[in-house]
Amino acid sequence: MEKPKKLHAALLSSPGMGHLVPIIELGKRLVANHGFEATVFVLSSQASRAETEIIESAMTPKLLDIVELPAPDLTATGLSPDESVFARVAAMMREARHVLRSALMALEARPDVLIVDLFGTEHLCIGDELGIPKYVYIATSAWFLALLLHSPTLDKEVKGEYVDQTEPLEIPGCKPVRPEDVADPMLDRSGLQYRDFVRMAGEIPMGDGILLNVWEDLQTETLAALRNEESLGQVVNSPVYTVGPLIRPVRPAGLGKELLEWLDKQPSQSVLFVSFGSGGTLPAEQLVELAWGLELSRQRFIWVLRKPTAKSLDGSYFDVGKVDGGDELFSFLPDGFAVRTRDIGLILPSWAPQVEILSHPSMGGFLSHCGWNSTLESIVNGVPLITWPLYAEQRQNATLLVEEIGVAIRPKELPSKKIVGREEIEKLVRTIMMEKEGHMMRARVKDLKSSAEKAMTKGGTSFESLDKMKEDCKMRIHQIKKGH
């Protein structure tokens, strides 16, 4: 008997490591566990070392095809080079519409389903043109999705800037969001990125379903609100599939000899990993305070160090993995820091094999910017966090980790607003690494690690959810063929 034809999923990734990683992992998962074929279209922000590494490692073993498309030049659009990362990524996706459409149409095996990320909602119409079902993959938390989907309503109801509100922003059925925790695009309602944000929120329900990089036990109540017809379910109007945690797998030789040797020498759960994702940078003054805080804490650490920037906190978003010069880099640290801490600390310039580091048994804590991939990577490896949100939706992620999930501690004030002083950093580090509060969080995060593993195995909620999405997909293809 002839084998049934596999469904072919076309997935579009917007520029940025944080977008590329989860979409590739979703593609791999669809192929490895759910009988799909997959082609991932990547709009490269730049031919960066880190991006190339991610793409190459995704191809061994080769489960899917990756088509790299050049990121469009935005000069002709008149968009200011100083425009926010969010608006620039949105503009790149818009400008790439024709290229993406042609690339999709040119595929030898025509796709049966289209999956776009948050920045790809304008491309859902290509799914309609091709007559195939289409889904939106939101590779972050359910709570962020709730705020996003509710933003067109807030836009009508709230007067003035969100950050100036004296009360938290109510979202039906969900934990309210503190004004200072709203995502970057919501900080200035007159900005281009705000218009893009609200537009995307309005476009998501045009898809046939939403995929979320979480699992049911992580955000039960928020997921219930997203599905409840009486609350956010009205807006969503299509199924919400939990498919996570989808994170990049550990590469066997990913750490390299020297790093592995260093980590192997450290006692179990004794090292703090300090990293601000692919785009995060700190102001010079904060860098100095952080260095002092680490030194004073006398705890072991690995610090992914980048040159400070004065202008923005996402300063290296489009320069991912570009290695800043060693000597110049050290000149931003307090005099003698590297020598005084050489027995307990390791400084890695610009970029590090994060998943491999976090999965090492010596890891005891993660001082993180709380990008959603980093958040999941920490939880999946049973590592509690110190939250250090900088940009995008990271402030909301940090609050979720501290107040709802209970696996993190945070500075008194947001680091994106105020320099956090050395004494406070010292205390935070010692708390997460040595004190009872830290031990309790480590125990809690290890429980979550087990619940995440369960969700991803056959019979688990995320595994079953992708099977359901596949069934939904088949049903829609059938309906489209019949002309419904």
Residues carrying an active site annotation: 19, 117
Q: Does 307 bind ligand UDP (CB under 6 A)?
A: no
Nearer to ligand UDP, 304 or 428 (CB): 304
Phi–psi pair at 269, nearest 5 degrees: 55, 35
Continuous H helices in 298-336: 326-330
- Compute the least distance from the CB of residue 274 to ligand UDP, in Å: 10
* Residue 86, token pair as written in the block: 């969010």
Task: Kindly determine how many residues on this chain lie close enough to bind ligand UDP according to the rule CB under 6 A.
Answer: 19
Question: What is d(CA 111, CA 65) in angstroms, rounded to the nearest whole number?
Answer: 12
Q: Which stretch binds ligand UDP (CB under 6 A): 93-101, 170-178, 276-284, 286-294?
A: 276-284
Q: Does 17 bind ligand UDP (CB under 6 A)?
A: yes
Rg (alpha carbons) of the chain, rounded to whole number: 22
Binding mask 229-258 for ligand UDP (x = CB under 6 A): -------------------x----------
Among 351, 366, 388, 463, binds ligand UDP (CB under 6 A): 351
- Compute the least distance from the CB of residue 16 to ligand UDP, in Å: 6
Nearer to ligand UDP, 292 or 372 (CB): 372
Q: Does 213 bind ligand UDP (CB under 6 A)?
A: no
Q: Which stretch binds ligand UDP (CB under 6 A): 75-83, 103-111, 155-163, 368-376?
A: 368-376
- Compute the least distance from the CB of residue 375 to ligand UDP, in Å: 7
Q: Degrees (nearest 5) of the Cα angle 86, 53, 318?
A: 25
Question: What is d(CA 394, CA 398) in angstroms, rounded to the nearest whole number?
Answer: 6
- Collapsing DSSP to helix, strand or coil, 240 comes out as strand
- Strands in 134-138's sheet, in edge-to-edge order, are 65-70, 36-44, 7-13, 113-117, 134-138, 210-212, 240-242
**Helices vs strands, H then E, count in the chain:** 19, 13
- Compute the least distance from the CB of residue 436 to ligand UDP, in Å: 28
Q: Does 372 bind ligand UDP (CB under 6 A)?
A: yes
How many other C-beta atoms lie within 10 A of the C-beta of residue 340?
Answer: 13
- Give the 3-state secondary structure percentages of the chain, helix then strand then coil, rounded to 5: 50, 15, 40
Q: Which stretch binds ligand UDP (CB under 6 A): 12-20, 112-120, 193-201, 238-246?
A: 12-20
Among 111, 120, 209, 277, binds ligand UDP (CB under 6 A): 277
How many other C-beta atoms lie within 10 A of the C-beta of residue 436?
Answer: 8
Q: Does 278 bind ligand UDP (CB under 6 A)?
A: yes
* Residue 56, token pair as written in the block: 């190459």
Question: What is d(CA 344, CA 326) in angstroms, rounded to the nearest whole number?
Answer: 19
- Collapsing DSSP to helix, strand or coil, 409 comes out as strand
Q: Which stretch binds ligand UDP (CB under 6 A): 26-34, 365-373, 408-416, 441-449?
A: 365-373
Q: Which stretch binds ligand UDP (CB under 6 A): 107-115, 180-188, 352-360, 461-469?
A: 352-360
Pairing of strands 363-368, 271-275: parallel
- Compute the least distance from the CB of residue 50 to ligand UDP, in Å: 7
How many residues can be counted in the chain? 484
Among 18, 127, 315, 438, binds ligand UDP (CB under 6 A): 18
Q: Does 371 bind ligand UDP (CB under 6 A)?
A: yes
* Chain contacts with ligand UDP (rule: CB under 6 A): 16-18, 21, 248, 275, 277-279, 304, 351-352, 354-355, 371-374, 377
